Amino acid sequence: MIRQPKLLVGGALALMLFLSACSRSTLTVPPPPSMATATLMPSPELTMPVAETATPEMTPTPVPLAALVNGEAITLAEFERQVSSYEATMTASGQDFSTPEGQVALAEARKWVLDTRIELLLINQAAAREGVVASDADVDAAIASLINDIGQVALEERLQQEGLSLEQMRQELHQEMTASRMIEHVVAAIPTHAEHINARHILMATQDEADRVLAQLRAGADFAALAQRYSQDTYTRDRGGDLGYVPRGILTAPEVETAAFSLQSGQISDVIHSSLGYHIVQVMDRVPDQEISAENLRLLRDRNVREWLDALRKQADIEIFIP
């Protein structure tokens, strides 16, 4: 398929309310835990009299960490709490962790939980630099709405099941809502109108086959008929290779997109090689300024956010302390 696939961005990229109708279907990402630790209590006094001496300061026990993101900690305890919560959700959906497949799924879930947490911290750190923040009033309103939906008792029961206090939940919501606002800030720069082309293409496995089809097209053969006969793109083949009207950034192969946007209406490209195979593209129409469809706008925003997050991650100092 030549269209850009849906991008699944980490759970930190959408506002996730802590509960949904008493059923937790998505993982709620925890707030940045404090690095402070309780000082160890001194040993009980001995029954024998001893000379007064200065009590030595005890070195705080280091908090076990899962990761550090630009110096901000993800504690191992919080990470494991999240994994346990997500594992319970997977178990409820029928996942059997005693099987080899279940163990693979659990390992992938652990990685997803950590990646999501890292991305949430990166987004909040970027939000702090940009001055983007969810207000306390917004967080209070979200909690009040949740209580109105499910009731105070149900909320307290769920908090107990999750091992969270109301203040911890409030901190989590604050981080997630701030992340949501930051994502809105990032995608706001994407225009809602752009140049579009109406193009169609034929995708083939080899250069030789593509050369033969191109020769037929140059001789006047019908493009749609050849696409239906030869194209390996099952998404567009039955439509004669029609890609519809698309702006820049939607086609998955950049080589195809570059070639397509360089053509005028009616023109046919040479053979274009991409990671998908060998393409021939024809542009049927060009529109200088057209509103981007809701689906394509979502794809463009997803890709923009993913690229922005990848850049944040590349520039970040991330230390991971778990396998």
H or E element: which one contains 310? Answer: helix 294-315
Q: Return the pLDDT at 46.
A: 34
- Residue 282 sits in the same domain as residue 133: no
111 in any annotated domain: yes
- Residue 153 sits in the same domain as residue 232: no
* DSSP per-residue letters across 223-282: HHHHHHHH---TTTGGGTTEEEEE-TT-BS-HHHHHHHHTPPTT-B---EEETTEEEEEE
H or E element: which one contains 177? Answer: helix 166-187
Q: Return the pLDDT at 127.
A: 97
301 in any annotated domain: no
163 in any annotated domain: yes
- Residue 170 sits in the same domain as residue 314: yes
Q: Which domain holds residue 286?
A: 193-291
Q: What is the pLDDT along the chain (323 residues), one digit of tens a residue?
A: 444 433 333 333 333 333 333 333 333 333 333 333 332 223 333 333 344 445 556 556 688 999 999 999 999 999 998 898 888 889 999 999 899 999 999 999 999 999 999 999 999 999 999 999 999 999 999 999 999 999 999 999 988 888 888 898 899 999 999 999 999 999 999 999 999 999 999 999 999 999 999 999 999 999 999 999 999 999 999 999 999 999 999 998 999 999 999 999 999 999 999 999 999 999 999 999 999 999 999 999 999 999 999 999 999 999 999 98
225 in any annotated domain: yes
CA-nearest of 12, 133, 120 to 74 is 120
Q: Are 138 and 170 in contact (CB under 8 A)?
A: no
Q: Return the pLDDT at 55.
A: 52
- Residue 262 sits in the same domain as residue 158: no
Q: Which residue has the tokens 């005693």?
A: 98
* DSSP per-residue letters across 40-100: PPPPPPPSS-----PPPPPPPPPPPEEEEETTEEEEHHHHHHHHHHHHHHHHHTT--TTSH
264: domain CATH number is 3.10.50.40
Q: How many domains does the chain have?
A: 2
- Look at residue 30 and give its three-state secondary structure: coil
Q: Which residue has the tokens 């992340």?
A: 179
Q: Return the pLDDT at 57.
A: 62
- Residue 178 sits in the same domain as residue 283: no
Q: Return the pLDDT at 164.
A: 85
- Residue 18 sits in the same domain as residue 123: yes
43 in any annotated domain: no
- Residue 184 sits in the same domain as residue 146: yes
Query: What's the pTM value of the predicted model, to 2 decimals?
Result: 0.72
109: domain CATH number is 1.10.4030.10
Note the Cα 132 to chain centre separation in Å.
20
The encoded tokens of residue 49 equal 């009299």
121 in any annotated domain: yes
120 in any annotated domain: yes
Residues whose CB is less than 8 angstroms from the CB of residue 76 and which lie 6 or more positions away in sequence, other chains included = 63, 64, 65, 66, 321, 322
69: phi then psi, degrees, rounded to nearest 5? -120, 105
